[in-house]
């Protein structure tokens, strides 16, 4: 965007390998070790589940549905390499200089850069944008170096086998979900609650669904020791004294800003001591000509589209005469757990805390997606949606949806939330039938009424 507005622009991109030695190409976390491989592997689990649970009911003879980790991994990595190449082409076509070098600030207008052969040089610029993102937090216990992270799982050469996922973050649960879905023995070690920061009711429903779909949960424990046994297997000792042996331990307990080696002290920028992120005001750091966008910023949603939009808006303000700031409120997101969870706006707990119990109404519904209705194995769980409303002005405060294709369902509601949609607007919207999305616009039952929230009819 900056280059298209006439700015002379360069991109520094240098991937520091993970502690396990994994590295990747141009495109950042999302493309290489995040959203893209995650959703492709999640889709593999959905396909396998469809063969196992749904095929017979729809008259399709199952062929077994065996899964090859090696084939999936190779195809996913080939797709990623194609994206890496496209990004290189796009930069060249936009006249953006690509530098495969690691940068460190010398002063406010100078970077010391080092290439992969260790050769050092300097570049100068009137402005810098820090977009280094975050890296997984390590497991801090004896033998913690034996664990891998989301930086490694998608590129594993061989099947991960029996897996322990440490943490109850969305990254941990997404990985646990697709690993179990393609046939692995998976346990999740949970220190406290699932999906901290998300709606409690929805998080608990996700946990229940996952527990019934092959994921074991080990509650209120953390690993205290990892050690190699039987060759390459890992014995894990937990805080409750129990032990078990796994082929792979995947840690997903949080992420920290990748700022440690940027030389921020040379330009008077102080990162947060806890998470190494940078405090900014409208993406501007404490050094006026240095900006930051994305996960490296303190206090914003850690989502790739957020970083992209913030970067576009910043470029337009700097070089295009715009005054439009980034709006970090009411941003949709989806958690790609085995039952997908799309959300925008306040959680129920947040709304009650901010607006008060007497000022909030919750409309909710459990329902069976039509595509699940023929499969007996699907009958144990239902999909779910709820809308949180401010009673004083009928404004929608939050929308939550658990069910198939949650991201596709929720995206349009993000626009509606930006436009301050009311519950009457929802209720006046004619649904598309038969879809799961229409359940959001046909809500009538409130929690305060105590009435049954199960859907009827077709």
Provide the annotated active-site residues: 433
What is the rounded distance in angstroms from the CA atom of residue 142 to the CA atom of residue 237? Answer: 10
Nearest to 167 by CA among 180, 158, 176, 159: 176
What is the rounded distance in angstroms from the CA atom of residue 59 to the CA atom of residue 108? Answer: 67
Cβ-contact 347, 200 below 8 angstroms: yes
278 torsion bin: left (phi>0), alpha (psi -120 to 50), beta (else): beta
| Cross-sheet strand order for the sheet of 360-367 | 333-335, 341-345, 396-402, 383-390, 360-367
Q: Is the dihedral of CA 166, 172, 175, 180 positive or negative?
A: positive
What is the rounded distance in angstroms from the CA atom of residue 46 to the CA atom of residue 30? Answer: 21
**How big is the chain by its Cα radius of gyration, in Å?**
24
Cβ-contact 131, 308 below 8 angstroms: no
Place of tokens 């206090």: 299
């Amino acid at each position: 965007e900056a280059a298209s507005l006439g700015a002379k622009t360069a991109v520094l991109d240098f991937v520091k390998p993970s502690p396990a030695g994994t590295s990747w190409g141009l495109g950042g976390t999302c493309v290489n070790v995040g959203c893209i491989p995650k959703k492709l592997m999640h889709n593999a689990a959905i396909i396998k589940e469809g063969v196992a649970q749904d095929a017979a009911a729809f008259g399709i003879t199952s062929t077994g549905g065996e899964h090859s980790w090696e084939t999936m991994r190779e195809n996913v990595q080939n797709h990623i390499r194609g994206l890496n190449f496209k990004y290189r082409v796009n930069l060249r076509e936009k006249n953006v200089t690509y530098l495969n070098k690691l940068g460190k600030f010398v002063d406010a207008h100078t970077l010391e850069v080092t290439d992969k052969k260790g050769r050092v040089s300097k570049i100068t610029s009137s402005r810098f944008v820090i977009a280094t993102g975050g890296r997984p937090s390590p497991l801090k216990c004896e033998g913690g170096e034996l664990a891998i992270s989301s930086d490694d799982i998608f590129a594993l050469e061989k099947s991960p086998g029996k897996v322990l996922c440490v943490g109850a973050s969305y990254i941990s649960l997404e990985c646990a979900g697709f690993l179990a879905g393609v046939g692995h023995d998976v346990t999740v070690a949970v220190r406290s609650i699932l999906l901290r920061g998300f709606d409690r009711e929805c998080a608990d429903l996700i946990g229940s669904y996952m527990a019934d779909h092959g994921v074991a949960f080990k509650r209120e424990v953390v690993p205290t020791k990892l050690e190699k046994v039987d060759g390459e297997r890992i014995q894990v000792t937990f805080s409750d004294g129990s032990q078990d042996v796994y082929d792979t331990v995947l840690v997903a307990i949080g992420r920290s800003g990748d700022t440690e080696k940027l030389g921020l002290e040379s330009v008077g920028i102080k990162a947060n001591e806890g998470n190494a992120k940078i405090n900014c005001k409208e993406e501007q750091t404490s050094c006026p000509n240095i900006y930051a966008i994305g996960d490296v910023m303190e206090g914003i949603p850690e989502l790739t589209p957020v970083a992209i939009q913030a970067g576009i808006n910043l470029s337009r303000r700097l070089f295009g005469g715009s005054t439009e700031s980034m709006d970090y409120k009411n941003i949709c997101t989806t958690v790609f757990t085995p039952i997908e969870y799309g959300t925008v706006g306040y959680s129920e707990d947040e709304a009650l805390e901010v607006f008060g119990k007497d000022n909030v109404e919750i409309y909710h519904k459990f329902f069976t997606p039509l595509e699940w209705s023929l499969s007996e194995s699907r009958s144990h769980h239902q999909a779910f949606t709820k809308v949180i409303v401010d009673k004083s002005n009928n404004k929608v405060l939050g929308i939550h949806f658990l069910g198939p294709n949650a991201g596709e369902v929720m995206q349009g509601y993000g626009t509606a939330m930006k436009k301050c949609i009311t519950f009457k607007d929802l209720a006046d919207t004619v649904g598309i039938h038969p879809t799961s999305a229409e359940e959001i616009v046909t809500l009538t039952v409130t929690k305060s009424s105590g009435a049954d929230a199960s859907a009827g009819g077709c």
